[in-house]
Chains A and B, each alone.
Chain A
């Protein structure tokens, strides 16, 4: 596809369940970012992948959050034992390389009930 694609666009889950959010970056982009945006708030950095380097996980809020990027392309953000405070829009972005222009997907709106 032409842009960054995220799925699902909306996800409602029960408290305590695990969820997986998917991000398909622009083909050939080596850098991939995950952010979280709570209602009315700014963007909170979660994790950054750059090529084959070890990811920067410094923004993950707890050990319930993890992310992987398979084959340097698709990324999955997993939240285990979801809590109500995990409710937010999760945004993914990619760029051609470190320091390149970043392009964002439309996000996944997660609601934990």
Chain B
């Protein structure tokens, strides 16, 4: 059974810092891994999608990497800003079932 874990559960950093969020999964049979952002009381916004054959994807100040064999992904946020404060969720699409399976999220606070 696929399980997705995110560490840390919460993170507080001063503005301007570079930071890394971690995601691990137990079954390497995945189609892809996706990072989302969720603001309080809102739905999920897709940030980056990494296909299983890819190693990384970049969008602006965000860079996500994928090491399928070790079951790990990281989301790197450069030069963090208060507007980056949100909950970040990673999810894998199971290669066996097609289901999208989520971690519990990392709640990020960037202090001005």
CA distance A98 to B43 in the complex (A): 21
In the complex, A39→B112 CA distance in Å? 27
**A binding-site residues for B, Cβ under 8 Å:** 31, 33, 35, 42-43, 45, 48, 50, 56, 91, 93, 98-99, 101-107
**Could you tell me if B98 and A106 are in contact, using CB atoms closer than 8 angstroms?**
no
Query: Which residues of the other chain, B, contact A42 by a CB distance below 8 angstroms?
Result: 89, 102-105
Cα A42 to Cα B45 with chains together (Å): 15
Q: How many Å lie between the Cα of A106 and that of B52 in the bound state?
A: 27
Q: Which residues of B contact A106 (CB under 8 A)?
A: 42-43
Which A residues are in CB contact (< 8 Å) with B46? 101-104
Point out the residues of chain A lying under 8 angstroms from B49, CB to CB: 101
> Which 4 pairs, one residue from A and one from B, show the smallest C-beta to C-beta distance?
A99-B31, A104-B44, A98-B98, A106-B43
Rounded to whole Å, the gap between the CB of A7 and the closest CB of chain B is 13
Residue pair A48, B34 in contact (C-beta under 8 Å): no
- Contact residues of B: prevailing secondary structure: strand
**What's the interface size class on B, roughly?**
20 to 34
Q: Give CA–CA (A48, B96) in the complex, Å.
A: 13
- Rounded to whole angstroms, the CA-CA distance of A89 and B99 in the bound complex is 19
- Of the candidates A43, A91, A101, A107, the one whose C-beta lies within 8 Å of that of B34 is A101
List 24 A–B pairs whose Cβ atoms lie within 8 Å, in order of A's numbering. A31-B98, A33-B99, A35-B102, A42-B89, A42-B102, A42-B103, A43-B89, A45-B101, A48-B99, A50-B98, A56-B99, A93-B100, A99-B95, A101-B32, A101-B34, A101-B49, A102-B91, A102-B93, A104-B43, A104-B45, A104-B46, A105-B43, A106-B43, A107-B42
